[in-house]
Amino acid sequence: MKNKKAYYSAKWIAYTAMTTSLVIATSFIVPLPIPPFGNLYWCDAVIFMTAYLLDPLASFITGGVGTFLYDVVHGNSAMMFASLVIHGLQAVAVSALLHCVFPKKHEPLTAGISSVVGGVIVIAGYFILRYYINGYEPIICGYKAVANVIQEITGIIIGMTICYATTLKRQLKKHNLLPDFKNEIRFNNNPPA
């Protein structure tokens, strides 16, 4: 692939921008308090939904960059890089497992399995952040992880419901509105005209 450049279709760019915007917007929805553990944020549902619909790179941009930009706008600079890495890895893992590893048969089942892996990444990522970076006691980290578990379960349920129970993904494919990432990213030496 020496001297080759990647060119992304307008459809791919539009979907990636739209889903990234949705992550930022849903992050601004008032979080649901989960006393005494913390708050439930709604952006994970969009991150999971994007991972079901788009390729790993678009999913990383949506999950990682979307939460990063929310933290920037919200003034939470201490969390922005952690959000970029943790939610970016979450989205990449779900999308890569679903689209590149698991067979296409029984997609809702494999989406659920992929989502559990993504959820574990978020829960473990924030546990590690609290314990190693912030220096919290393990009991406090475990206590705070309960809110992350509830948030991931809620995100998986909402994302899967939107994507599979409402037939959104099937309808997008039927009307050729869903980017096919094998055809949306092109590598060549000359830029498109």
Model confidence at 2, pLDDT cuts 50, 70, 90, reads very low
Cα 137 from Cα 167, distance rounded (Å): 44
User: How deeply is 147 buried, as exposed, middle or buried, from its count of CB atoms within 10 A (0-12, 13-18, 19+)?
Assistant: buried
Residues 168-189 as b or e (16 or more Cβ within 10 Å = b):
bbeeeeeeeebbebeebbeeee
Cα 143 from Cα 36, distance rounded (Å): 9
Instruction: Decide if pLDDT at 150 tops 80.
Output: yes
Model confidence at 189, pLDDT cuts 50, 70, 90, reads low
Residue 8 confidence (pLDDT): 79
- Residue-wise pLDDT for 14-37, tens only, equals 999 999 999 999 999 999 998 888
User: Token digits for 59?
Assistant: 């999913």
Model confidence at 191, pLDDT cuts 50, 70, 90, reads low
All structural domains of the chain:
5-176 (1.10.1760.20)
- Residue-wise pLDDT for 70-126, tens only, equals 999 999 888 999 999 999 999 999 999 999 999 888 999 999 999 999 999 999 999
